[in-house]
Amino acid sequence: MGRVKILRDFIGIIKDKASQSKAALISNPKTLSLHVALLRATTHDPFTPPDPRYLATLLSFGHSSRATASTAVEALMDRLQTTRDAAVSIKCLVTVHHIIKRGSFILQDQLTVYPSTGGRNYLKLSDFRDDTTPLTWELSSWVRWYALYLENLLSTWRILGSFLYSTSSSVDKRKEEEKVSVTIQI
């Protein structure tokens, strides 16, 4: 059992390095840092959380244009929906949660309109299973639960137009309040 775990961890490291090399070779130079940051934030190692530096890099893509934010969300969702690895899925979901909590309005908006076909199951992880080890089997249930939680937050956005308890929505709210108070004083 110990050798299987070592082999699985080694394969995960190789897959991470291969994905980063592939991104460096075929990515558009403008989005290279996005893809590399995404791959480094969502590694196959189940015992390390996403690195805050790479999460900050991903969040920075929401401060330029809507097209750039859309590219970032598309890359994240593609990574989330194509992986069958529980650790990568959890880290992608943590990244989605960071966008909801700390992302710019543009990035949050692109996240909420990502599934252009609509529907209620935005993240499409209700049947996620990684049964390679007992740990990944357990993590799979957390992936499904966390995805459902985030889907509920995304549904709330569509109804209310903002995320509850989001840093960016509170900042935007304060800016709007300042604009209103300035116009009232004039």
pLDDT score of 88: 92
Query: How many residues in the chain?
Result: 186
> Would you identify the CATH topology of the domain 2-185?
1.25.40
Q: What is the pLDDT of residues 148-161, one digit of tens each?
A: 999 888 888 877 77
Positive/negative CA dihedral, 67, 68, 73, 78: positive
Give, in order, the Cα–Cα distances in Å from 182 to each of 153, 168, 173, 176, 178.
33, 21, 14, 10, 6
Q: Which amino acid is at 176?
A: E
pLDDT score of 5: 63
So where are the chain's domains? 2-185
Q: How far apart are CA 37 and CA 20, in angstroms?
A: 9
Q: What is the pLDDT of residues 78-131, one digit of tens each?
A: 899 889 999 999 999 999 999 999 999 889 888 887 765 555 557 888 899 998
Q: What is the pLDDT of residues 42-85, one digit of tens each?
A: 988 888 899 999 999 999 998 888 888 988 998 999 899 889 99
Q: How far apart are CA 14 and CA 83, in angstroms?
A: 15
pLDDT score of 183: 45
Task: Using pLDDT thresholds of 50, 70 and 90, give the confidence band for residue 177.
Answer: very low
